[in-house]
Amino acid sequence: MTTKIINLPRILDKRGNLSFFEYPNLLPFEIKRTYWIYDVPGGEVRGSHAFKDQQEFIVALSGSFDVVIHDGKDEKRFSLNRSYDGLYIPKMIWRKLENFSTNSLALIVSDKSYYEGDYIRDFEEFKKLANE
């Protein structure tokens, strides 16, 4: 499966709206870990790495930011600004998060526990591995 936006259900209600995702009908992997990025100072960039084996799903729960992905050949930018859209990113995709709006909140779920050995932090090394 390639990097793609997954539209999430919206349960519209006068009392306030509700969205969700779950495996297997919306999310293509079982969640092992959840983390979130917040209080990002203006102009900062997060990410700038790829994972050898890990898949992720990113939702802008609040505010907006861009996810710039690179598959080793082409770059693509996804602007996330709705709490009912998420970006699925398979393994071996370089990604960085930038253009965070004030008070934005990035929710990220992953199918793996945190393991530094799964990170590729050098873009040239990533391109080499991705194009093998």
- The residues of the shown chain that bind ligand TYD, judged by CB under 6 A, are 33, 35, 37, 46-47, 49, 114
Instruction: Rank residues 8 and 109 by Cβ distance to ligand TYD and give the closer one.
Output: 109
CB of 25 to ligand TYD, least distance (A): 25
CB of 72 to ligand TYD, least distance (A): 19
Instruction: Rank residues 49 and 82 by Cβ distance to ligand TYD and give the closer one.
Output: 49
CB of 96 to ligand TYD, least distance (A): 8
Instruction: Rank residues 46 and 82 by Cβ distance to ligand TYD and give the closer one.
Output: 46
* DSSP secondary structure, 52-120, as one string: SS--EEEEEEES-EEEEEE-SS-EEEEEE--TTEEEEE-SS-EEEEE-PPTT-EEEEEESS---GGGEE
35 and 108 in contact (C-beta within 8 Å)? yes
CB of 3 to ligand TYD, least distance (A): 16
